[in-house]
Amino acid sequence: MLTAGHVNFDVLKFDGQRPTNCNRLSAHLYCAPMRFWQRPDPPAVNETNLRAIVRPNSKDTRPVNLDLGTIQLPVTAYASIAHRVTGVLMFFASFLLLWALDRSLASEASFDALSAVLSSPVSKFVMWGIASALTYHALAGVKHLVMDTGVGETMRGGVIGARIVFVAAFTGAVLWGVAIW
C-alpha cells in the first residue's frame, strides 16, 4: 500500500489503474475530490507516539527530548554561545566607551569629572567586565580563525580549543582585575 501523509493511494481511483509516473500521479492528486485532502483529527500526543508525529520517516532511534532544562550541551556549544553573548555586550558597551571618550576630550573639567566617576568601585567593575568580554571575544575569534585554516576542526580539536579559550580568558580576566584595581 502506497501512502503519502494521510492519503491512501489504494483507495484512490486512477481511471481503473495505478499511476505509472509522477506526472499522472500529481495530476490526479491535483484534481482529486476534496474529501481525500481533508486530514483526520490529529492523534493525541504522548510519549509512545511522539517520535511518529515529530519525525515520521526518520530511522533515528535517539530519544526526542523537548525539555530544554535537561539537554546536556558540549563545551563547544557553551564556547559558541559565550562568543555571541560577548559580541552583543561589546556592541552595547561601545556606546558607553564612546560617551566616556567624548567626555574626556570635551574639556579639562569634564575629564576631571569623568576621572572621579571612573574611580568608583562600580565603574571599575563595569570596566573590568567590558575588558573581560573583549578578551574572551578576541580569543574565541582567534580560535575561529585558526579553525578556518583547518587546525582543530574535529570534535576533539574543538573541545580542546574551547577549553584553551576558557582558561586563557579566565587568566585574562584575572589580569584585568589586577590592572584595574
Mean pLDDT of 63-80: 82
For residue 22, what pLDDT is reported? 52
What tens digit of pLDDT does each residue of 3-51 get?
A: 445 545 554 454 555 555 555 555 555 555 444 455 556 656 665 665 5
Beta carbons within 8 Å of 1's beta carbon, 6+ residues apart: 8, 9, 10
Q: What secondary structure letter does DSSP report for 12?
A: S
Q: Is the pLDDT of residue 175 over 60?
A: yes
CA distances (Å), 177 to each of 52, 129, 133, 165, 181, in order?
A: 54, 9, 13, 18, 6
Instruction: Sketch the domain layout of the chain as residue ranges.
Output: 1-72, 75-180
C-alpha cell at 154: 574535529
Q: What secondary structure letter does DSSP report for 14?
A: S
Q: Is the pLDDT of residue 1 over 60?
A: no
Q: Place 104 in a pLDDT band, splitting at 50, 70 and 90.
A: very high
What tens digit of pLDDT does each residue of 113-170 get?
A: 999 999 999 999 999 999 999 999 999 999 999 999 999 999 999 999 999 999 999 9
For residue 45, what pLDDT is reported? 62
114 with 103: CB under 8 angstroms?
A: yes
**What's the CATH code, domain 75-180?**
1.20.1300.10
Beta carbons within 8 Å of 5's beta carbon, 6+ residues apart: 39
Q: Is 40 helix (H, G, I), strand (E, B) or coil?
A: coil
Q: What is the largest CA-CA distance in the chain?
A: 95
Sign (positive or negative) of CA dihedral 55, 56, 62, 65? positive
Hey, how many other C-beta atoms are within 10 angstroms of the C-beta on 50?
A: 13
Q: What secondary structure letter does DSSP report for 35?
A: G
Report which of residues 159 and 67 the model is more confident about.
159
Q: Which of 33-42, 78-87, 96-105 has the lowest mean pLDDT?
A: 33-42
For residue 65, what pLDDT is reported? 65
Q: Has this prediction a pTM greater than 0.75?
A: no
Q: Which of 19-28, 51-60, 67-76, 111-120 has the lowest mean pLDDT?
A: 19-28
